Each structure stands twice: as C-alpha cells, then as structure tokens.
Amino acid sequence: MSSYVQRLSILMLAAWLVACNSSMPPRQTPPSVPPATKPMPSERPATPGTTMTTPPNSYPAGGGPKVINIDPKPETTGNPTDGIDPNTPLETTVTPKLEPIVKGTTKPYIVNGETVTPMSEINTPFTQTGHASWYGKKFHGRKTASGEPYDMFKLTAAHRTLPIPCYVRITNLSNGKTIMARVNDRGPFGRDRIIDLSYAAAKQLDIIRHGSAQVQVTLIDPSQPLDTPVTTAQPSAETQTSSKEVVQVTRTVTSAKPASALETNGIYVQVGAFGQEENADRLQQRIFSVLPETQSLLNKVYNGKVFQIVLGPYPDHALAAQAASQMRDQLQLPALIFSR
C-alpha cells in the first residue's frame, strides 16, 4: 500500500512541475548591439567662429592677470549730452598732491590678448600723444578702478598704465587749451585712444562736440610741482605780442628767481614755462600790460631746466582758482595751480 502511495505522489509531483514550466514566459535574450548613446556636452565640436573667453574683468581660476575682452561695437547713436543738465557746476581746477597708489591697480592685466603692465610709481618725465575721448552719463556713479564712484562733473580721467591716482596735464593740440586732471580709472580699451576724459575735462578742452581730439598727456610729479614744463613750450600766437605792445610796457623785466625762493606752504598759479628766457620775459610783460594789478604777484622762476611764469603766493585755493580763471578767460593761458 505504501509503495502504491509513493508512486502516486511522484506522478502528481511530475505533473505539477510540467504544468508550471509551460506557464512561464520565454527568457528575453539581451540585444547584441548596445543602444546608441548621446555624446556628452564636452564631446561636442566647437561651433566655427565662436571663442571661449574668460568673463570680462575677472581673474582665471588659480590666479593670474585680469582678463578684459572687448567686443568693439559702433559708436552710440544720438547726442551723448542728452540728459545732462547744463547748469550743473563743473570742477574747474585740481591741485596735484601726493596720494598713495591704490592697492591692486599696479597688477598686469590682459586686454584682447595684449598684456598691459601699469606703472607702480610716479616716474617722470612721461609724455604721450594720441587721441582722447570722453565718457559721461552712462558711467556716472559707477565704481572706478580706484574704488571711487565716477563723477562726470569732476576733472578726472582714465588711463591704461599710469598710476592710480595721479595727476596729468592734458593739452588739446587743435586749440592749445590745457587742463590738469586726476587719473582714477583704467581705460580706454575698446578703441584707439590713449586717455578717456570726464565730461568736465572734455568740456574745458572743447572736445564734447567732436567726441575726440588729438592731445598731449604729461604726468605731473606733485613732489616737484615746478619741474615739469608746460607741454606747449613754444609761445602760442596769443603770447607772441607785437613790438608796439612791448614798447608800451614800462615794467622792467626782472631776473629769474630760483625755485627754492618761492614761499613754502604757498599756493601758486603757473601760466607758462619756456626753454628760452626771452620767451618768459615776453609773457611776463604781456600779463603786466593787460593786468597791471598782478605786478606784485608775477614771478619769473628758473628751476634748472626751464623759465616759468608763476603768480602767487595766494593765501587759499579759492583765490588761486580765481586768478587761474582770469588767466584763462582774459589771456587764454594754461593756468595750473600748485602748492609748495
């Protein structure tokens, strides 16, 4: 009986296994060729004509010179003076003084692949001739390379290599007008220019209407205010007085004083500097003939290099600025204020 039961159990188990095997789905065979995969972004070929650049005014990872990439674009259309209040008072004079160079502004940087190395100290003589442009309301209030906000109504400028800050004398070579300005920003970068002027500086040089002009830029050493001659060494047409005018002058031409004879802590106005003493005498006589009240303030100074005509000393900057304006307005002379 027991053997019969065993055989019956084995037959039932075999039947059950056959039934289960017939109900299972067939095995899925994996594909012999893997599906195509999309290339990673880094594997994509570069689009012709595009360039990978470091973002403007940034330092690459790991340090290195700042990179500035400029995409030259057409000049802005419209009148650049639109929106500027003509009644806003403009700074008319600056007094050169020694200031510490702003940390970080002496580091080399790269503009469109060209490495530019700024000066790390006031190193004269430095004179540069080229085109000047100006920048106005679009940048007004923005931070300059010095960290100061740009004020278009002050006598400031941007230069690619000069120390920040420093003072320069700028002469418009088309009309002879001369000013001093404080360099507190970097530029210009996008065009063939040597200096960018503030609105106030460009207006005094009569550059606003044309947008640019050929200028001469001279670096000033504030520690030796009398050692840098005026850029227009030869007298202009206005300074070349006629023989009749000279004959009418009764003031005797004085001998030149040494620069050390000027009063310490005084404020002065320089109106001319010449390699030949007779040119300085001519200017001195012209000033006296037009403004005889300046006789007690007129000085002819020789600093070992040039003969200079200097007015002063004045007790404060306001009086010196008034005298400088008088020289510019009545005699069309480049008037530069300095202190001893």
How does pLDDT run across 177-197, given as a tens digit for each residue?
A: 889 999 999 999 877 889 999
- pLDDT bracket for residue 203 (50, 70, 90): very high
Residue 25 lies in a domain: no
How does pLDDT run across 274-297, given as a tens digit for each residue?
A: 888 888 888 888 888 888 888 888
The reply to whether the predicted model has a pTM over 0.85 is no
Residue 43 lies in a domain: no
Whether residue 322 is predicted with pLDDT greater than 80 in this model: the reply is yes
Instruction: Give the distance, in angstroms, between the CA of residue 103 and the centroid of all CA atoms in the same chain.
Output: 16
Side-chain-facing half-sphere of 8: CA atoms under 13 Å: 5
Q: How far apart are CA 198 and CA 134, in angstroms?
A: 6
How many CB atoms within 10 Å of residue 308? 27
Residues 157, 290: one domain?
no
Residues 101, 248: one domain?
no
Overall domain count for the chain: 2
Whether residue 85 is predicted with pLDDT greater than 60 in this model: the reply is yes
Whether residue 228 is predicted with pLDDT greater than 80 in this model: the reply is no
Answer with the residue of higher pLDDT: 218 or 229: 218
Please report, for the domain that includes residue 318, its CATH number: 3.30.70.1070
Residues 255, 320: one domain?
yes
Residues 282, 319: one domain?
yes
How far is residue 31 from each of residues 26, 34, 240, measured CA to CA in Å? 15, 7, 100
Q: How far apart are CA 35 and CA 260, in angstroms?
A: 90
Residue 181 lies in a domain: yes
Q: Identify which of 8-22, 77-91, 111-125 has the greatest average pLDDT.
A: 111-125
| Structural domain harbouring 168 | 57-222
Weakest mean pLDDT among 130-139, 209-218, 252-261: 252-261
Residue 99 lies in a domain: yes
- pLDDT bracket for residue 156 (50, 70, 90): very high
- Would you state the pLDDT for residue 151? 94
Residue 11 lies in a domain: no
Answer with the residue of higher pLDDT: 23 or 107: 107
H helices of the chain, in order, are: 2-23, 199-204, 243-248, 277-290, 317-331
Residues 206, 68: one domain?
yes
From the list 231, 216, 306, 310, the residue with the least C-alpha distance to 263 is 310
